[in-house]
């Protein structure tokens, strides 16, 4: 029967043979009784686990069937990992979960839990109207008293109660058992339909809408993850840190029956999970070696060692293989046991009762202590990595047969039969009924609509609602000059920034961050050296003293973790503003932006979002300091990320309104913004001559915020002379150099308009076209590189619009930035801009 590759037919035949061979127990056991004399689960509850496992198994078989005639697009299944249903049973349905792609049984079990008691959560599925508010992700449930630490179950997650384990006190029991009604496939039908819709890319699929096959649903507190290599683990750590920080907020006006309410200003929101929730994230054994996993474990342990609490349960599902690469015997256990600050638990996923016991113990420990733990769950992998995986190339028939002997669904069936809860024939009937129902659903979803246009695909990517953002800025101004005026004056020591005189870029950003912290009580500022030191350039100086260490804090030196903390905090209802100390350091962690941040709305149709403003010190031209790591002009990786907002303020009077726009956009639209701050301009004071002070600017009082509002994707134009002869399009350091060059050209009778893009993504295309057409001569000054630089996008925009005038580029050389004076040979200069303009004008 067993072939070189374990096929769906093999697996189905073997399961049937196993059940047929099971001898009936001498007596029948009441399903309401413990499944064995000392088990914490009743027979009915184990039947629920069996039904969840069987539903997952039949979904895997259906996926292969759909693929066989070209109608299914995803065949990575959960066969062999169905023991994770017991992990789901040990958790509360309001515990947020980020799931590995072999989590079918977990997903089915949780869906059944919520279906059995829909009062646990409220509907938070995305609206079909993209203009509707996105603050829909809400969950209700247990509310923990901030003073006593007791738990009041507003909506019970369990029915009925299991027999108590005499070795565990009532206060230590997690109290979350699987749905007690053994009602067969009906409890799992909705989950099965979700999964099948994902397989066939149906636009009716409830989380990603046909964009990807993921396990996720807002009303199940399951956050979609699209990576298979643990890139979601740093986010999980961030979620844990945020949940705990929000839980510890004082109770004055910040708690409701639905969870934790944070703030009353712009973007005030509810934390979407109960305050005593724990975060669970699952991943495969091969992923334990990935840098993202290492970063997450290290960060969780680092914070634990520092005394900060992070209630995260990592679940490593260990089948011994990463596609074809074996995990060395004992390596995963040794690695997980060695993680400092992380409690280790282990179980064999083939044994549902023991898996439940250990998972419940681990969850209770994390919930009680608010500390991280890892559950090492041993599993097997059946039917290969995916449909196209030829296991015969790297596994023997004997090894495949050994895994089949450890089929967790068969093991659960064996437990039920041995206990007298059911016969093999009865369980086979449940299996067949589930299979028939899954196949029926598969045929139904085949006829459902698919995404039919590019507009459909990108509709959920990154909504832009500039009117609402502008209104949020106006509301912030009204609060700052009205009811919040006293608190603002106190925060600034009685001297608000508008009375401080002309400011540098760094000072303006500092003041705008302070105003942001005042208006967004859920805002947190963090990164390397941002708190005690105030940033390596002093940009965050004094903010920790004003707003406290809970909102302005230093992190460990790991960019993946810094961004992961931001991702998790945003998902938990905060407004995170992480800092990456230098642009060059971002490249160590850019997938946290590309693969995690930018995809969240895309793969959840807006049901989940991660608002975030990432401050990055970058670009070149530092004098007397630098080299590549401190003078980095690589921005192509940011401009390539769909939906990402990239802002580059050049002047102090742009920095504050642009930062306010980014904060408002994050709060209103859930935008992910990168605020790229030119290091060389932080403390610049002069424009043309030493002491002229023309690069300084006053900070506007709140009454001027509306008039000075800078929408995303709008440029700024400077007119020098007649402004009729030449258009220079630039950004960042290029603005100052171009204005200096324009002054030289003005002495030669040339009128120039200098266009500061301000936004690199989305580019201000309308402004580019208008200002270019006004002169018919365009010089693009791009301080990044000629290949992959911003200038390529500007030229492409001109070509696409049918621009027929003259155009020329002055750009950085395709080189890393060297140390010292050698940098001048590869970077753009004011002299090169002047020469380029003259060449263009001579045509």
End-to-end alpha carbon distance in the chain: 79
**Nearest to residue 815, comparing CAs of 831, 799, 806, 826?**
826
Instruction: At 441, list the tokens.
Output: 């659903």
Task: Give catalytic residue positions.
Answer: 630
CA atoms of 368 and 746, how far apart (whole Å) = 71
DSSP letter for each residue of 701-749: PGGGTTTT---TT--EEEEETT--SEEEEE-THHHHHHHHHHHHHHHTT
Cα distances (Å, whole numbers) of residue 530 to 298, 570, 664, 795: 20, 19, 22, 38
CA atoms of 336 and 345, how far apart (whole Å) = 9
Beta bridge partners of 717: 755
Q: Yes or no: say if 233 and 298 are a contact pair by the CB < 8 Å rule.
A: no
Three-state DSSP string of 430-475:
HHHHHHHHHHHHHHHHHCCCCCCCHHHHHCCCCCCCHHHHHHHHHH
Cα distances (Å, whole numbers) of residue 492 to 513, 520, 530, 654: 12, 16, 18, 21
584: preceding bond cis by omega (within 30 degrees): no
CA atoms of 85 and 110, how far apart (whole Å) = 8
Secondary structure of residue 575 in the 3-state scheme: strand
Q: How many CB atoms lie within 10 A of CB 748?
A: 12
Q: How many CB atoms lie within 10 A of CB 814?
A: 11
CA atoms of 246 and 265, how far apart (whole Å) = 16
At a CB cut-off of 8 Å and minimum separation 6, what does 402 contact? none
């Amino acid at each position: 029967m067993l072939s070189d590759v374990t096929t769906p037919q093999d697996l189905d035949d073997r399961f049937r043979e196993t059940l047929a061979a099971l001898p009936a127990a001498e007596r029948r056991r009441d399903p309401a009784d413990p499944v064995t004399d000392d088990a914490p689960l009743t027979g009915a509850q184990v039947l629920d686990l069996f039904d969840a496992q069987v539903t997952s198994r039949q979904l895997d078989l259906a996926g292969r069937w759909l693929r066989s005639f070209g109608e299914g697009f995803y065949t990575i299944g959960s066969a062999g990992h169905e023991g994770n249903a017991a992990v789901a049973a040990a958790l509360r349905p309001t515990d947020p979960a980020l799931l590995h792609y072999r989590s079918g049984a977990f997903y089915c079990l949780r869906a059944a839990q919520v279906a059995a008691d829909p009062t646990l959560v409220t509907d938070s599925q995305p609206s079909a109207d993209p203009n509707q508010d996105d603050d829909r992700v809400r969950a209700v449930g247990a509310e923990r008293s901030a003073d006593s630490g007791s738990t009041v179950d507003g909506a019970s997650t369990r029915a009925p109660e299991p027999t108590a384990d005499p070795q565990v006190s009532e206060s230590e029991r997690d109290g979350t058992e699987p749905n007690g009604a053994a009602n067969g496939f009906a409890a799992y039908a909705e989950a099965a339909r979700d999964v099948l819709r994902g397989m066939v890319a149906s636009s009716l699929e409830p989380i990603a809408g046909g964009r990807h096959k993921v396990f996720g649903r807002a009303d199940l507190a399951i956050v979609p993850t699209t990576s298979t290599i643990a890139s979601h683990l740093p986010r999980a750590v961030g979620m844990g840190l945020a949940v705990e920080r929000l839980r510890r907020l004082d109770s004055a006006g910040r708690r409701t029956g639905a969870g934790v309410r944070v703030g009353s200003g712009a973007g005030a929101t509810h934390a979407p999970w109960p305050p005593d929730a724990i975060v669970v994230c699952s991943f495969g054994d091969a992923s334990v070696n990935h840098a993202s996993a290492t970063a997450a474990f290290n960060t969780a342990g680092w914070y634990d060692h520092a005394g900060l609490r992070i209630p995260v349960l990592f679940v490593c599902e260990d089948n011994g293989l990463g596609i074809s690469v074996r995990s060395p015997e004992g390596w995963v256990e040794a690695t997980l046991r060695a993680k400092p600050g992380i409690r280790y638990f282990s179980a064999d996923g083939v044994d549902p009762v023991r898996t439940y016991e250990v998972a419940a113990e681990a969850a209770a420990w994390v919930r009680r202590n608010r500390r991280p733990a890892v559950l090492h769950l041993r599993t097997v992998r059946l039917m290969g990595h995916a449909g196209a995986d030829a296991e015969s190339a790297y596994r023997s028939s004997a090894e495949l047969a050994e895994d089949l002997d450890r089929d967790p669904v068969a093991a659960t069936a064996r437990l039920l039969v041995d206990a007298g809860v059911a016969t093999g024939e009865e369980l086979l009937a449940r299996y067949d009924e589930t299979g028939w129902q899954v196949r029926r659903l598969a045929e139904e979803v085949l006829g459902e609509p698919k995404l039919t246009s590019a507009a459909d695909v990108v509709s959920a990517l990154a909504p832009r609602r500039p009117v609402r953002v502008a209104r949020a800025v106006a509301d912030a101004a009204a609060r700052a000059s009205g009811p919040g005026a006293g608190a603002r004056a106190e925060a600034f020591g009685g001297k608000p920034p508008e009375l401080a005189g002309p400011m540098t870029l760094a000072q303006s950003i500092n003041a705008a961050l302070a105003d942001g912290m005042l208006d967004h009580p859920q805002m947190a500022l963090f990164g390397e050296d941002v708190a005690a030191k105030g940033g390596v350039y002093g940009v965050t100086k004094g903010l920790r003293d004003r707003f406290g260490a809970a909102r302005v804090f230093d992190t460990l030196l790991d960019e993946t973790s810094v961004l992961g903390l931001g991702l998790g905090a945003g998902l938990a209802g905060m407004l995170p503003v992480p800092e990456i100390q230098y642009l060059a350091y971002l490249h160590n962690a850019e997938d946290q932006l590309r693969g995690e941040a930018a995809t969240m709305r895309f793969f959840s149709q807006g049901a989940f979002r991660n608002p975030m403003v990432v401050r990055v010190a970058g670009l070149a031209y530092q004098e007397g300091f630098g080299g590549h790591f401190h003078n980095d002009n690589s921005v192509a990786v940011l401009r390539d990320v769909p939906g990402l907002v990239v802002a580059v303020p050049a002047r102090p009077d742009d920095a504050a309104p642009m930062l306010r726009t980014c904060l408002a956009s994050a709060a209103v639209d859930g935008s992910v913004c990168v605020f790229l701050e030119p290091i060389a301009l932080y403390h610049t004071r002069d424009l043309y001559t030493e002491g002229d002070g023309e690069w300084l600017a006053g900070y506007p009082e709140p009454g001027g915020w509306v008039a000075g509002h800078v929408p995303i994707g709008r440029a700024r134009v400077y007119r020098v002379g007649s402004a009729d002869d030449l258009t220079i399009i630039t950004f960042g350091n290029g603005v100052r150099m171009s204005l200096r060059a324009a002054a030289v050209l003005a002495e030669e009778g040339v009128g120039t308009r200098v266009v500061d893009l301000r936004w690199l993504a989305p580019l201000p295309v309308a402004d580019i076209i208008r200002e270019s057409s006004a002169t018919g001569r365009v010089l693009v000054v791009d301080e990044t590189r000629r290949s992959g630089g911003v200038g390529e996008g500007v030229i492409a925009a001109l070509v696409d619009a049918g621009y027929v005038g003259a155009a020329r580029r002055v750009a950085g050389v395709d080189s890393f930035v060297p140390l010292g004076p050698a940098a001048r040979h590869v970077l753009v200069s004011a002299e090169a801009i002047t020469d380029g303009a003259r060449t263009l004008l001579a045509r």
